[in-house]
Amino acid sequence: MASKPNQLKSCGMLVVLGSPPREFLLMLHADRYDLPKGHLDPGETEMQCALREMQEETGLQADDVVVDPHFRFTTTYPVRSSRTSFEVWEKTLVIFLCTLKRPRPIVTTEHLGYRWFPWQPPHHIQPMTIDPLLARLADFLGQDAP
């Protein structure tokens, strides 16, 4: 799960519609929106984890999407949860970019729902991970904020 003591790693996918993106998918928690993502299992690659979590949380299969081989977003931040016995641990988040090949139903299994957000940078959804990820994608795509 973690490469060093007191470290966690999560991987996930930023799922977009269109090329260039017109919309992106976020999952609804009770108090926020987040990406389809989850903790890396032992022996799993980051990409395997991201694809597994996308499938588990959205119902989308690997063959429903095209993964961009050139985009990889990584950030690290402190977390405190039951998983860490409420101690502060360092969490690394790795997000890959994928484009949905064709419209597919989203099947939520771990969330209250989902939402397709319009791609209109700059975004102000969640400052710790979502906003920096979307800013990095806008930069990657060569798009300036209006």
| Domains, the chain, with CATH or none | 7-140 (3.90.79.10)
Q: How confident is the model at residue 3 (pLDDT cuts 50, 70, 90)?
A: very low
Residue 96 burial (10 A CB sphere; 0-12, 13-18, 19+): buried
Q: Which residue has the higher pLDDT, 84 or 52?
A: 52
Neighbour tally for 97: CB within 10 Å: 24
Quick check: 79 pLDDT over 50? yes
**pLDDT value of residue 78:** 86
Question: 63-73: per-residue pLDDT in tens?
Answer: 999 999 999 99
Q: How many Å apart are CA 63 and CA 66, to the nearest integer?
A: 7
